[in-house]
Structure 1
Amino acid sequence: MTADVTIKVIVPVVETDRLILREPRESDFETVAAFAASDRTAFIGGKQNRYEAWRGHLAGIGHWIARGYGFWMVEDKASGKPAGRLGFIYHAGWSEPELGWHIYDGFEGRGYAFEGAMAARQTGARRFGLDGVISHIDHANLRSRKLAERMGATIEREAVLLETPVLIYRHPKVLA
């Protein structure tokens, strides 16, 4: 005998002045694949082919199901286009959840990473109990380091993540 199973996940929609943080959709894949094939992935594992990008996109959706939180797609309200991804990730073998971000080509330099990551951090603390999280940042990723520092995060220690030396930035607690 077999039984049908329903898998449900609630991805809260978070709005800021200029952004909508929403669930990842299959229709986002072409934008995700373009980012994955670009040099902009240098600090997050490097370029991926379409198959690897598809697996990563599905893993992002699955993260919401498995953990109850994950990466939102960042949608630019003005254009309605995906402008990046950000949120929380906690892979097997990691010490704790991470707040991460990446903004797509054509949307950088507008403060979207700061605006979206601050909204995600608030939502993570209040809705998911993810307060005072970390960000793994490559030593050479100066833009992400500046963003973390602008958000009030400070270097806690050095570590190795996926065979790459990184700095662990600790974010301040929201609910302190």
Structure 2
Amino acid sequence: MNRPTLTTERLVLTPVDLADLEDLQALWADADFTRHITGRPMTTEEVWFRLLRDLGQWGVRGYGSWTIRLIEGGAYVGNVSILDHRRLIDPPIDDPELGWGLAPAFQGRGFAKEALEAALAWADAHLRAARTLCMISPDNLASVRLAERVGYRPYRRTTYRDEPVQLFERPGGANWARTEREPGAG
């Protein structure tokens, strides 16, 4: 199984690993970080099962989560993922779903965009998907703006686990390159 490492100007994205557990537990215990995602900090048990799920995605689907670290010094920044969650949501999500999250100390410095662009470039080159999707709380304005900056467009408001969410879509592969060149796109 090919679990690629991605490198950007400032970041290295490595497939999630058991060695990331301590950093993940600290991230998911942060109430500011989880506010728009789970609505509450996660327990160590929940983080463990999340890590197992993320590890399994690589073996089952051939894509998954990357741990984001600074190239200089190796500090843990967060993660970016391409996942198949099989969410119980209407409309169903049948395409690869992207998600991302950065520790609050690293937000607002362009790291999320840099990591997301690397993951999307990998997805465009390696997945045979007509589109990728993401699901964002309408209150998470920073993530909404980031999604739109990298080419996602809103297509449906719905609810997930009794909370309002906005679904976004972005054409994949060659479709993305064509959309990017259209006047007013991006």
Q: TM-score w.r.t. structure 1 length?
A: 0.88
Contact 1:73-1:86 within 8 A present in 2 as well: yes
**Which of 14, 21, 25 is equivalent to 1:33?**
25
The one-letter amino acid of 1:43's match is H
Matches within 5 A, 1:5-154: 9-39=1-31, 40-45=33-38, 46-93=40-87, 94-96=92-94, 97-154=96-153
> Is the 8 Å Cα contact of residues 132 and 172 (structure 1) preserved in structure 2?
yes
Q: Secondary structure of the residue that 2:79 maps to in structure 1?
A: strand
Corresponding residue for residue 156 of structure 2:
157
Matches of 1:166 and 1:131 in 2, distance apart?
A: 22
Give, as a single letter, the amino acid of the residue that structure 1 aligns with 2:16: P
**Percent of paired sites with the same residue:** 30
CA shift at 1:132, angstroms? 2.4
**Two-structure CA RMSD over aligned residues (Å):** 1.5
Q: Aligned residue for 1:3?
A: none
How far apart are residue 163 of structure 1 and its match? 2.8
Residues 156-175 of structure 1: matches in 2 within 5 Å?
156-175=155-174
User: Counterparts of 1:152 and 1:74 in 2: how far apart (Å)?
Assistant: 21
Q: Distance in 1 between matches of 2:114 and 2:131?
A: 18
Instruction: Note the residue ranges of structure 1 that are not aligned, 5 or more in a row.
Output: 1-8
Q: Is the 8 A contact 1:125 1:131 kept in 2?
A: no
CA distance in 2, matches of 1:101, 1:73: 10
Q: For 1:150 and 1:42, how far apart are their aligned partners in 2?
A: 22
Distance in 1 (alpha carbons) for counterparts of 2:171 and 2:62:
22
Q: How many residues are paired up?
A: 168
Cα pair 1:18 1:76 within 8 Å, conserved: yes
Partner SS, residue 46 of structure 2? helix
Gaps of 5+ in 2: 176-186
d(CA) in 1 for partners of 2:130, 2:8: 20
User: Could you list the runs of 4 or more consecutive aligned residues of structure 1 that deviate by over 3 angstroms after TM superposition?
Assistant: none
Kindly provide the CA deviation profile for residues 108-136 of structure 1, in whole angstroms up to 9, marking residues without a partner as x.
Answer: 11101101101101101211224521110
Aligned match of 1:5: none
Cα displacement (A) at 1:25 = 1.8
Tell me the SS of whatever aligns to 2:49: helix
- Give the letter for the 1:55 counterpart: F
Distance 1:128 1:157, change over 3 A: same
Q: Aligned partners of 2:68 and 2:123: how far apart in 1?
A: 15
Alpha-carbon distance between aligned partners in 1 of 2:47 and 2:83, rounded to the nearest angstrom? 16
- Describe the SS at the equivalent of 1:165: strand
